[in-house]
Structure formats: C-alpha cells, structure tokens
Structure 1
Amino acid sequence: MQNIDLNHEILKLIKEQPEISERNIALALSISEDTVKTRIANLQDIREKILIVGNRKKAYENLKKTLEAENYNVVNILNSFSALETVSEERPDLILLDTAFLDTDGFEICRQLRANPKYRWVPVMMLGEKNEAEDSIKAYKSGADDYITAPLNPLELRARVGMILRRSRV
C-alpha cells in the first residue's frame, strides 16, 4: 500500500471507530503495530484549512460549525492585527475575511495579502453585511476571489467554498 493510501486507511478506521487501538488498526490493515504508531505520530491534519478572520464571534461560531460539518479544518481569529501573522503560521487553503473591523477594514487586509508574495496565492472570500454593488466591487478591487453577504445561506456558502478550493487546486 502506498504511503498516502495507508495514511488515509488509518484515518478512515480512526474516524469510523474513534476508540480503536493501534493494535486493532494494525490487524485490520495487515501491517505492524510499530508502523501504525509511526504513521499516527507523523500524521498531520490533511483536511483543507479555512481561516476565518472577523470580529463577529457569535456569527463566526456558526460559520465554523457549518464548515467543520463539511470536514474542513477551520481556524477563527478575531483580531485583524494578527491576520497576516496567522496566515503565515496556519498556511490556510482559503481565507474568509470580514469586510469590517474596529481597527482596520478587511479590504485593506486583502490588499496587504495580495501585495505580499508569500500570501498572494491564498484565495480570499470577503464576508460583508451590506448587499450593495459598491462593496462587492471594492472587495474584488482589493483582490478578493469572491464576496458574500450576511445572512449567509449555508448551502450557498458550502458551494462557493468548494468552488474556490477546487479552482485553487488546479
């Protein structure tokens, strides 16, 4: 079995049976228990990571739950001062960026991301409260890949997130 396939099989067994022992994983996959231990120690979260940057904590808790239900690894930060630093540390596959902060606006953070060669590859979906053409135009001009307004429809959000992530894999 190839390395990646073996890792997926181990994760699949753990997901199906959270209490399964390393010994039982080894038996199920016909590999040594030492191999299982080594693989589990070296496994990293292979889910696609989404970073939510916004200060509306309650709203983003629901957003996080919606995306985690789709098996995304979701990280939420509430402070725009640490946004660029967090992007560097977390290396997300997608950033969901609120347009409004108390200390700076999301449009400026998006411009900073696009201006920095380390971050310009990361897709950005801006989250706004206003359903006005000028805000969506401002989002796209700042470098956003998409713009969506509250209240967020979970089905539409999942479709848009999936589309952006598929496009970024190409």
Structure 2
Amino acid sequence: MYNNDLNNEILKLLKEQPEISEKNIARILSISEDAVKARIADLKDVREKILIMGNGHNDYHDLKKALEAENYKVVNIPNTLPALKTVSEERPDLVLLDTASLDKEGLEICRQLKTSPKYWWIPVMVLSEKNKAEDSIKAFKYGADDYIASPVNSQELRARIGMVIRRGRI
C-alpha cells in the first residue's frame, strides 16, 4: 500500500470511529502500532515541507539542521526513487534538487515536475556545484524557480527558500 493510500485509510478510520485506538488501527491495516503513531504525528505536522532530492556532495546534515531551525520539515530522498511518485507521496511545498549527484537527471526531474499537470505548481530550486551562468540558464529553461551554486551560504539559502515558497503561494 502506498503512503497516500495508507494515510487515507488511517484518516478514514479516524473519521468513522473517532475513539479508535492506534492499536486497533494497526490491527485493521496490518501494520505496526509504531507506524500508525508515526503517520498520525506526520499528518498533524503542518510545517512547510522541503523535499531534498539527491545525495550529492552538498552537506545534507548541515542543510537539514539549518532548514529545520527555520521550522521547515525536511525530507531527503535519494535519487534512486522515482521522482513523480515521491513527490506524490510526500506532497512537498518545495523540491530542492541537489544536482551534485543528479546532474542531467536532476534537470530532467525538474522538467517532469514543471510539465506535469499535477505538480507544475510546486516550486523547484536547484542546488548545484556548478557556478557558471550557462548552468543556471539551463536550469531555468528546464523550469527551475531558483538556482543556487555551492558553496552555499546558509542564510542566503534560507532566505531564497522562504522567498520561493512565498512566491509559490501567490
């Protein structure tokens, strides 16, 4: 069962039986009680979600810590998972493509998201190790909403992410 399907089943049970226990939900759905607790907590989390795709040379842990300090929920997805399926399951407010490991594939993910009738509205920001004008121009041609090159100034990155998310709400 996909994440969205499982979440929908949990929500359905909670709506039909408001007093149902997490233990009973786990039994009905044949999943662990810990999984039910985690999903319910996740469903209650209303923070803006940033989905980082790629596991390149950019320091993910420092980036995650800096963004969580700004009260974002940060999820990292390795580039081995299908991009559109991952976006569908995670429902992020912003996709941050770390092209240090994705390269051309990262820009293709950007193009797929921006040409999809279901996901075109989700802001995509490209984080790259390349600091050449032609690389940023290429990213924008593929549909990126913003582009930032390494080394990344964490204050600038946080400001840009906030701006891109705000702009995406308009």
Please say whether Structure 1 and Structure 2 have the same fold, judged by a TM-score greater than 0.5: yes
Contact 1:67 1:158 in 2 (8 A): yes
Q: Which letter does structure 1 place at the counterpart of 2:73? A: N
Q: Distance in 2 between matches of 1:42 and 1:138?
A: 36
Q: CA deviation at 1:100?
A: 4.3
Contact 1:53 1:80 in 2 (8 A): no
Give the TM-score taking structure 1 as reference length.
0.70
The 4+ residue runs of structure 1 with deviation greater than 4 A are: 40-43
Please say if 1:116 is aligned against 2:116.
Answer: yes
For residue 15 of structure 1, what is the aligned residue in structure 2?
none
For residue 84 of structure 1, what is the aligned residue in structure 2?
84
Q: 1:102 to 1:162 in 2, by over 3 A?
A: closer
Q: Distance in 1 between matches of 2:82 and 2:157?
A: 25
For residue 71 of structure 1, what is the aligned residue in structure 2?
71
* Higher RCO (Cα < 8 Å, 6 or more apart): 2
Q: Deviations over 1:134-159 (max 9, x none)?
A: 10000000000000011110110011
For residue 138 of structure 1, what is the aligned residue in structure 2?
138
> SS in structure 2 opposite 1:157?
helix
Equivalent positions of 1:31-46 (< 5 A) are 44-46=44-46
Moved more, 50-59 or 152-161: 50-59
Q: Distance in 2 between matches of 1:72 and 1:85?
A: 22
Structure 1 stretches lacking a partner, 5+ long: 1-39
Contact 1:100 1:128 in 2 (8 A): yes
Please say if 1:148 is aligned against 2:141.
Answer: no
Moved more, 135-144 or 101-110: 101-110
> SS in structure 2 opposite 1:97?
strand
Structure 2 stretches lacking a partner, 5+ long: 1-39
Q: Which letter does structure 1 place at the counterpart of 2:136? A: S
Superposed CA RMSD in Å reads 2.2
Q: Distance in 1 between matches of 2:92 and 2:119?
A: 10
Question: How many correspondences in the alignment?
Answer: 131
Q: 1:133 to 1:65 in 2, by over 3 A?
A: same
Q: CA deviation at 1:81?
A: 3.5
Q: Distance in 2 between matches of 1:72 and 1:46?
A: 9
Q: 1:103 to 1:140 in 2, by over 3 A?
A: closer
Give the TM-score taking structure 2 as reference length.
0.70
Q: Distance in 2 between matches of 1:84 and 1:42?
A: 20
Q: Deviations over 1:32-52 (max 9, x none)?
A: xxxxxxxx9896111000000
Q: Distance in 2 between matches of 1:43 and 1:63?
A: 24
